[in-house]
């Protein structure tokens, strides 16, 4: 299991997710955890990610229609 850390962005919502390479996320791997984090915190921040436009779109589509 991939471990990642959370750093609050605000006392009431939002977290920075560190230690996670978004290129490894797929519908069956790590996305359920990210979706749960999004539902809990309403905003997720990922710094320093190197995503191709195709991978960025693929990841976005996991959350719903783009």
Where do the structural domains in the chain lie, given as residue ranges? 5-63
Instruction: Write down the pLDDT at residue 1.
Output: 47
pTM for the model? 0.86
Give me the mean pLDDT over the 47-54 stretch.
96
Instruction: Write down the pLDDT at residue 4.
Output: 92
Using one digit for the tens of pLDDT, what is the confidence trace for 4-34?
Answer: 999 999 999 999 999 999 999 999 999 999 9
Instruction: Tell me the CA distances in angstroms from 21 to 11, 49, 60, one per residue in order.
Output: 25, 7, 15
Closest C-alpha among 56, 26, 58, 52 to residue 35: 26
Tokens of 34: 């990210």
Is 4 within 8 Å of 20 (Cβ atoms)?
A: yes
Does the structure show a pLDDT above 70 at 2?
Answer: no
């Amino acid at each position: 299991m991939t471990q990642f850390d959370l750093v609050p962005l605000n006392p009431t919502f939002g977290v920075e997710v560190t230690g996670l390479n978004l290129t490894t996320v797929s519908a069956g791997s790590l996305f359920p955890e990210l979706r749960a984090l999004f539902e809990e915190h309403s905003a997720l921040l990922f710094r320093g990610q190197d995503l191709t436009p195709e991978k960025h779109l693929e990841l976005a589509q996991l959350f719903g229609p783009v």
